[in-house]
Structure 1
């Protein structure tokens, strides 16, 4: 019984030390960026979407966690202007795509992190879009007070099937590719 108490106290102290060493660094949402590219048979569109909030967690100088919330209502195309921009922005926010009236935010929460050295981390995270959660993997590079990554997301895993050749075989040149690309820069 005495040994059990000693072990319990040692674990408590060890866990307390681990928690005390973790440091949460909130991102500056106004300086952090998410750029997207969606491709289709006949070309592509690009744009931005803004962070609502987020943070990276460090143990010492190494990334040990992270979670982020994206303001999906800020979704906008940057490659168009005028009427065509308004139409695309409206369609992207409609139920065919991200349904931002109902799903105002998307979230990303780190679940596994592997230190690859030189400030590069292999990250697996849970990405939630339109209330549907799936794992995504990417490399995150941390330098000073910035972190960057690029990765692809398969929109069909989140119920976004509009003009997907995977679901509509005879769609021809109106097909939109399932993957969209994200380029993320965090400033903290």
Structure 2
């Protein structure tokens, strides 16, 4: 009987020792840079999240994380002309690239989190974009602040892995255009998880 009581107590203790923090959507943003092949200048912008959560163990270290990307929130930030900005954003949201009407959300869910050093982690998980799920590893730096837990990262998004290839009825335009766009898309994010 005593053994059963101890087991129940330990299970409850482990549950209460865990903390979950929701993503502060107003203070969290992802940044992207689309480059022309060969390193020539391209476009850059932001994308927002629509949900997110991080779970910490009793030592205050993350053991699970997930977030949802709002694909309809893609913005261009480097072009000054509003019409040019709108054209880029419409292109990215169209079926030429992300097809955000058909796939309005992107998803990430961690499968393993490994500590690399003080406040630094390798987060392995599944990233789903355009309905395609692929494993990815993101190196994340976590910082505690008075009002939240900050997470930052720089990583590379490989377009073809998730089918984000230029797609148009014009085969010639597709071949030429796709050949000019760099496969690697540098990305970063700044996330704040509320305490």
Instruction: Say whether the fold is shared (TM-score over 0.5).
Output: yes
Kindly indicate whether the alpha-carbon contact (under 8 Å) linking 2:33 and 2:186 is maintained by their aligned counterparts in 1: yes
Q: Residues 8-19 of structure 1: matches in 2 within 5 Å?
A: 14-19=10-15
Determine the structure 2 residue equivalent to 1:51: 49
Instruction: Indicate the RMSD between aligned Cα atoms, in angstroms.
Output: 2.4
Alpha-carbon displacement from aligned partner over 1:22-75 (angstroms, at most 9, x marks no partner): 111111101111111111134221000011110111002101111101111010
2:159 equivalent to 1:155: yes
Flag structure 2 segments of 5+ consecutive residues without an equivalent.
none
Q: Residues 26-175 of structure 1: matches in 2 within 5 Å?
A: 26-41=22-37, 42-60=40-58, 61-80=60-79, 81-144=81-144, 145-162=149-166, 171=176, 175=180
Determine the structure 2 residue equivalent to 1:183: 188
Secondary structure of the corresponding residue to residue 111 of structure 1: strand
In the alignment of these two chains, the number of paired residues is 180
Alpha-carbon displacement from aligned partner over 1:134-187 (angstroms, at most 9, x marks no partner): 011121111112111111111111111218xxxx9x638951111212111111
Kindly indicate whether the alpha-carbon contact (under 8 Å) linking 1:73 and 1:100 is maintained by their aligned counterparts in 2: yes
Q: TM-score, normalised by structure 1?
A: 0.86
Kindly indicate whether the alpha-carbon contact (under 8 Å) linking 1:109 and 1:125 is maintained by their aligned counterparts in 2: yes
CA change 1:176–1:11 in 2 (3 A) is farther
Determine the structure 2 residue equivalent to 1:21: 17
Flag structure 1 segments of 5+ consecutive residues without an equivalent.
none
Secondary structure of the corresponding residue to residue 122 of structure 1: strand
CA change 1:115–1:76 in 2 (3 A) is same
Q: TM-score, normalised by structure 2?
A: 0.83
CA change 1:97–1:15 in 2 (3 A) is farther
